[in-house]
Chains A and B, each alone.
Chain A
């Protein structure tokens, strides 16, 4: 009986652990700030949708921001999907590092759509990639990729990140 209780306690501990959000505050703040420098075709009517692929602690941080801020006049809506095929119409797609292996299918699914794809890994397929430079949070930005998605990017954003092709 003692062993059963111990196992239950451990299971409870893991459940709590997995349900506990990590502090992705600054990445979420960066994502919000990007919206000030990017222009979507037709503006941002309706809700401004940010889709996160797979579980990521950034979700709770983005939700916190959505309660405080709008993009233009649009309310921010945070969606979570499990795979590329579930991504519907969205303004931003966020790909956590844990979803690295899904990059090719996300690239295919998003090709040509007016969506800003932001990833948490250094790779060359998307508009903005979070990277760490000298233990500091930074981002790579690809003007050509953003424009392929029919978005316009303010040149001042390019000065804040590292421009890649």
Chain B
């Protein structure tokens, strides 16, 4: 009966089609009377075989791209970040993964950070709902036994359309401060491995370049994606685009996300248990046997964390203007704003691992391309409280970038010289008493750097490609020039097999806090003050990497991508206790500790392998499985916490022995394994389109267990733990993050044209294990949504 109905419908469509088609090739309006793609796909073979060939061709045009080409599109996507020219992922000279907008939509990821769970080589842990810790390949929590700041990924460069969105004050990326959201993304390109010769400082672990959408035509379009669910989740994305004439186009977008925590209590280090929101205000400061209640204690905690439930609350709006003069000359201007408040982890040393963080920033970015010249400049400014209500952490960032590159081709040789300039200025002068040294900067603090770079891409013969990139960065602080480079070769055994080899060196850039810290912290009021100082002569961390890769296409539908890497990183800098002075003065604390930033002999050595297997079964099914195995050694590491050193220096400190200096002797250094990066991590995805209306996407992400050590713990000296609040023995020596598998499922149904209703279950088995030390349980989130496209 169903078959008969279909046949009748087909005949009716054909009659309509025949009526509409006299001279159809001259009348594009008749397209409106064509059967839709869905209707054509539901036609039987018999119907299609009985059709005149001319009409069949017309129907094929409605269906669109051929299946074989579709396979290529799904599996072998365009990428531009890896070599700064558009090419296929299969040919990419570096370890590269591209996530397209179609994959983002299908997978059901709810944020750009979560989307990176679809990328091989990424470690992605959710600290609190919507707030993620991300690392490319690893080197997490280096050095261990220090503050949480060193658990941030300060060595991976995140960019939006080549504009760095890096946090130059402390290092790393505050993901919630990205003004764009999934709706703005055309694709996300991830390069694993050091790439600062191509992208500049901080592209050490790798690069994440988020490419925004460009309207295809001037036709006005609008889209919205709205989803709501458990934990009071509200995620709204919307945008309109269009143009005037053929040359001018625009796109305006907005996004909003709100997520709540799965629990309303907070872990407190020194009592080793969780306390309610209201109980937190009753905590007393603690030192030795003395208890002191902080001034304004009743409001202090609630100022830091304004709601017991809030995890993520963020908003962003953007406008993009495009002017395409001709094929060779085009301009893009984008500008936007964002406002966010999240409860995430502290950067510094605190009584609890949580802190509120707010940000309100704006940016403008201009890109121009003309006859091989490529110019980009941008400016970001705003107001950020990276640890809310802590006067030392309320700052105004100002970041300026300008870059000019030129593409010059001679036969199979492409040369790309360029120059770039960056200036960053962070200030806390609006929020602190500079004379009283209330801030950690106490005024305007600047960093700048100018760079020249050159890239040559040469094919001596068809199968062999050689790339050399070299870059010199001259910084003002430290007053040094750093040379970074990449030497890459790819060899096509044949069209289905490619061998790759990479040798590269990259360096991290200077940070404001390393260079300019000027903080006075009363750890115990009237008893002990600590003084933090930056260091303007630090050596910058440098990574050297050797990598070999092999890509293989099988059966025209499977791609296997293997990469084996070995890297060493040296010249780490971090802060440690230098000395302590005892002096009794009226109104002054008797003990003063001096903390400074120094380079240490510590180095890390990482060996690993990543494998990604993608299979496109047909138009209806594709899937991928990927995983990384890695081991990282930390050599010449001083395995003591700041707390231990603090206690050690205080012992015997008195009028007769008024100054003691920390001494790190060579025999106190150890070689150890970095336990904070999981040995194995990876994911999988399966997309299934049983009909053109229905799509089902299952994704999964997993990692093995890790151990995170902070300054709160010291396995060699438990007495060092009594730092802050009501000190009760029993703080765990180190935090073990258990292995976790996070399965997700999205089922979407197109109810009309390109408009869909969907259900989206994240971590749907409800595994509640914490994904980061001392923070929140992350349980299942269940959403319903609608996606509208006009």
Q: Choose among A29, A55, A160 the residue with the greatest number of B CB atoms under 10 Å from its CB.
A: A29
Contacts of A157 in B (CB 8 A): 53
Interface mask (B52-72 → A, CB under 8 Å = 1, otherwise 0): 011011011101111111010
Q: How far is the CB of B687 from chain A (nearest CB, A)?
A: 12
Q: Is A109 an interface residue (CB 8 A)?
A: no
In the complex, the answer to whether A10 meets B48 with C-beta atoms within 8 Å is no
Asked if B618 contacts A23 (CB within 8 A), the reply is yes
Q: Which residues of A contact B57 (CB under 8 A)?
A: 30, 137-138, 160
Task: Select which of B56, B494, B619 is within 8 A of A23 by beta carbon.
Answer: B619
The size class of the interface chain B forms with chain A is 20 to 34
Complex interface: chain A residues within 8 A of B617 (CB): 17, 20, 22
Closest residue to B620 on the A side, CB-wise? A23
B625 located at the interface, meaning its Cβ lies under 8 Å from any Cβ of chain A in the complex: yes
* A23 near B67: Cβ-Cβ < 8 Å: yes
Given A17, A65, A96, which contacts B621 in the complex, CB threshold below 8 Å? A17
Cα of A27 to Cα of B619 in the assembled complex, Å: 14
B63 touches A132 (CB 8 A): no
Determine if A101 and B67 form an interchain contact, defined as CB atoms under 8 angstroms apart. no
CB distance from B291 to the nearest CB of A (A): 52
Contact (Cβ within 8 A) B555 A136: no
Interface residue? A126 (CB, 8 A): no
Q: Is A113 an interface residue (CB 8 A)?
A: no
**Minimal beta-carbon separation of B217 from chain A (angstroms):** 13
Contact across chains for B61 and A137 when beta carbons are under 8 A apart: yes
Most buried by A among B57, B69, B621: B57
Q: Are A68 and B45 neighbours in the complex by a CB distance under 8 Å?
A: yes
Is B619 touching A20 in the complex (CB atoms < 8 A)? no
Contact, CB under 8 Å: B56 / A136: no
> Do B66 and A132 have beta carbons less than 8 Å apart?
yes
Chain B residue with the shortest CB-CB distance to A13: B623
**Complex interface: chain A residues within 8 A of B557 (CB):** 17-18, 22
* Among A20, A30, A36, A100, contact of B495 (Cβ-Cβ < 8 Å): A100
Interface residues of B in 32-62 (CB under 8 A from A): 45-46, 48-49, 53-54, 56-57, 59-61
Chain A residues with CB under 8 A of B620: 23
Q: Which residue of A lies closest to B46 (CB)?
A: A68
Q: How far is the CB of B654 from chain A (nearest CB, A)?
A: 60
Which residue from A57, A68, A98 sits with its C-beta under 8 Å from B67? A57
Instruction: State how many angstroms separate the Cβ of B222 from the closest Cβ of chain A.
Output: 23
The reply to whether the CB of A21 lies closer than 8 angstroms to some CB of chain B is yes
CA A55 – CA B494 in complex, angstroms?
A: 19
Say if the beta carbon of B513 comes within 8 Å of chain A.
no
Instruction: Report if A64 contacts B (CB, 8 A).
Output: yes
B530 within 8 A of A: no
Asked if A33 meets B56 with Cβ closer than 8 Å, knowing A10-B625, A55-B555, A69-B49, the reply is yes
Could you name 22 residue pairs across A and B whose Cβ atoms are closer than 8 Å?
A17-B557, A18-B555, A18-B558, A20-B621, A23-B67, A23-B619, A23-B620, A26-B60, A29-B48, A32-B49, A36-B53, A57-B618, A64-B45, A69-B49, A98-B556, A130-B66, A132-B69, A136-B60, A136-B64, A137-B61, A137-B64, A160-B53
A-B pairs, top 6 by smallest CB distance, nearest first, are: A22-B618, A98-B556, A33-B53, A137-B60, A136-B61, A26-B60
